[in-house]
Amino acid sequence: MSKSPHPLNDSRHTHLKRETSALPSRGHHGAGFRAKAAIVAGVVTKLLLMLLLPMALIGATTTNALAAAGGSALYPGETLYDGQSLVDGQYTMSMQTDGNFVLYNGTRALWQSGTYGRGGAWISMQGDGNLVIYNSSNQPLWQSGTAGHGGSRLEVQSDGNAVVYTSDNQWLWATNTAVQGNSLPSGARDIGYNPFAAHYGNQCTYYAEERMHSQTGRYMPVYGNAYQWATQAAAGGWTVGTTPATNSVAVFPAGAFGSSVGHVAWVIAVGSGTLEIQDYNWNHSGAHLTTHSVQVPRGTQFIYSDR
């Protein structure tokens, strides 16, 4: 149910029209009645102004808050109320009437805030940079945890990811739901298994290979240390480049992050000179999935899942 300003109530218009139409025509009455008619007309005009002015003020105070409904971004100070959505192509991020904030690909849910069962909830992209869902009593239910970054915005992207960016386009938070079309080259070889599963299941190489298989249905022909992957994948017909992209494997060079054999990770968001990645064995943590942001070291390459 939209919280946008309502038009003037039809019954008010009808009532005012009845009063006006009840005035007899000038051809049947003298000057005295014309004077009375003028007074009545003045009263009607004042009544109209009294009705219209408050509505205009309401519209003026809520225009900014409602401006984003139906667009693809929520800017500082803007709000989505229950029943309103952000849209980019097939992706819709809806503030539902049950209180849940949900990102859809068509009719399939990709992400949710988990705040269902709280009808009347609304979401605000606050001026301090925090994205917050409030219940009908204005108590916070969920937040992105991005306060302290004034001017930030929420964007629903054409790749299926929803991201909070700073005013200078730095990544702060994301749903991590980017979906890419599987348009791999026909020659991108599939070796049919994860070569790191038997003995290296706690390593970054195992996890990155599994993520690529989950995305494309193929296992890359990569066998060696992490820093060797770009060369091996390219030799196996996979597309490799230096441009960061979501849903790709980042291949970090030898020496990056203190590792003599390099590092590989799955890219879930791209910022300005930064990557949001998921990986195993970050800081020797073993088979522990870590999600974090890193600066892009010189010499980093990317194995793409969609080109």
Q: Can you give the pLDDT at residue 32?
A: 53
Q: Per-residue pLDDT tens for 74-97?
A: 999 999 999 999 999 889 999 999
* DSSP string of 122-148, one letter each residue: EEEE-TTS-EEEE-TTS-EEEE-S-TT
- Residue 119 and residue 99: Cα distance in Å, rounded? 5
- Residue 67 and residue 3: Cα distance in Å, rounded? 12
- Residue 157 and residue 137: Cα distance in Å, rounded? 31
**Residues lower than pLDDT 70 in the chain:** 1-70, 179-182
The closest of 232, 250, 234 to 242, measured between CA atoms, is 250
The closest of 77, 72, 75 to 92, measured between CA atoms, is 72
- Residue 152 and residue 88: Cα distance in Å, rounded? 19
Predicted TM-score (pTM) of the model is: 0.48
Q: Which two tokens stand for residue 27?
A: 């051809």
- Which residue matches tokens 């051809």? 27
Q: Can you give the pLDDT at residue 307?
A: 81
- Are residues 134 and 121 in contact, defined by beta-carbon separation less than 8 angstroms? yes
Q: Per-residue pLDDT tens for 109-120?
A: 878 898 989 999
Per-residue CA distances from 88 to 70, 105, 131, 246 (Å): 9, 10, 19, 17
- Residue 77 and residue 110: Cα distance in Å, rounded? 26
- Listed by start position, the domains of the chain span 10-64, 73-174, 204-304
- Which residue matches tokens 């441009």? 243
Topology of domain 73-174, CATH: Agglutinin, subunit A (2.90.10)
Strand order in the sheet with 248-252: 240-241, 301-304, 248-252, 263-270, 274-279, 290-295
Which superfamily does 204-304 belong to? endopeptidase domain like (from Nostoc punctiforme) (3.90.1720.10)
Largest distance between two CA atoms of the chain: 107
Q: Can you give the pLDDT at residue 164?
A: 93
- Residue 23 and residue 41: Cα distance in Å, rounded? 9
Helix (H, G, I), strand (E, B) or coil at 85: strand
Q: Which two tokens stand for residue 287?
A: 């088979």
Q: Can you give the pLDDT at residue 52?
A: 42
What residues contact 221, with CB distance under 8 A and at least 6 apart? Answer: 189, 191, 232, 233, 235, 236, 238
